[in-house]
C-alpha cells in the first residue's frame, strides 16, 4: 500500500495537451512526451509516437532497468518480440520486461501511431531529445559513439 490516509487527497495534476513537449526524429517520426517520469513521480513515462509511411524505427535492442510497452493506435507497426517481427494494428499491445529484446518500425505505406509506456518513469525524453538534436544538426556518429550514446540511456543492441 502506498497511500495510507483515511480520506482521499487532492493530488491530481492536469496537463493540457498543448503543453506536452515534442521531438522530431531523423526519420520524420515525432515523439510527444505526454507524461514523462518528471510529472508522474517517476512511476511511468507515457509517450505518443507518430511515424510517417516507411519511417523505419528502432532495431532489436534491450534495456536493463525499465520495461517498455507498445499500444498501436493507428496504422500498422512492425513490432519485434525478441523472436519474430509481427504486423501489429490498432488495439494490439506488446509488453517487454527488463532485458527483453524488442524493436519497432513502420515499414508500411501509411502513417502509424502508438503509445509507448516506460516503467518506471526514467527520463527517456533526454534520449529522444538527443536523437532529435543529432538528426537536426546532421551530425554523423561513429559506431563507437552510437554504442556509448545507447549505453548512457540503458539501450543495448541485440
Residue 143, H or E segment = helix 143-152
Contacts of 111 (CB under 8 A, 6+ apart): 50, 51, 52, 53, 74, 75
C-alpha 158/C-alpha 152 separation (Å) is 16
pTM over 0.85: yes
1 pLDDT tier (thresholds 50, 70, 90): confident
pLDDT at 87 over 90: yes
CA distance between the termini of the chain: 37
pLDDT at 71 over 90: yes
User: How many Cβ atoms are within 10 Å of 53's Cβ, its own excluded?
Assistant: 13
Identify whether the C-beta of residue 63 lies closer than 8 Å to the C-beta of residue 155: yes
pLDDT at 73 over 90: yes
Identify whether the C-beta of residue 125 lies closer than 8 Å to the C-beta of residue 23: yes
Place of cell 510529472: 39
C-alpha 87/C-alpha 112 separation (Å) is 12
For the stretch 6-54, pLDDT in tens is 999 999 999 999 999 999 999 999 999 999 999 999 999 999 999 999 9
Q: What is the pLDDT of residue 104?
A: 98
Domains and CATH numbers, the chain: 31-141 (2.60.120.10)
Read off the pLDDT of each residue in 132-139 and give the average, rounded to a whole number.
Answer: 96
C-alpha 107/C-alpha 87 separation (Å) is 10
pLDDT at 101 over 90: yes
Contacts of 40 (CB under 8 A, 6+ apart): 46, 121
Amino acid at each position: 500500500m502506498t497511500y495510507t490516509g483515511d480520506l482521499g487527497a487532492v493530488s491530481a495534476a492536469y496537463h493540457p495537451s498543448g503543453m506536452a513537449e515534442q521531438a522530431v526524429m531523423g526519420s520524420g517520426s515525432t515523439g510527444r512526451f505526454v507524461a514523462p517520469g518528471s510529472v508522474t513521480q517517476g512511476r511511468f513515462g507515457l509517450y505518443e509516437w507518430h511515424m510517417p509511411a516507411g519511417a523505419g524505427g528502432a532495431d532489436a535492442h534491450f534495456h536493463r532497468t525499465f520495461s517498455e510497452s507498445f499500444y498501436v493506435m493507428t496504422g500498422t507497426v512492425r513490432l519485434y518480440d525478441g523472436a519474430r517481427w509481427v504486423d501489429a494494428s490498432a488495439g494490439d499491445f506488446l509488453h517487454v520486461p527488463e532485458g527483453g529484446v524488442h524493436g519497432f518500425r513502420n515499414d508500411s505505406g501509411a502513417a502509424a501511431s502508438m503509445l509507448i509506456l516506460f516503467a518506471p518513469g526514467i527520463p527517456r525524453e533526454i534520449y529522444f531529445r538527443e536523437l532529435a538534436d543529432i538528426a537536426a544538426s546532421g551530425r554523423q556518429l561513429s559506431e563507437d559513439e552510437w554504442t556509448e550514446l545507447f549505453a548512457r540511456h540503458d539501450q543495448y543492441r541485440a
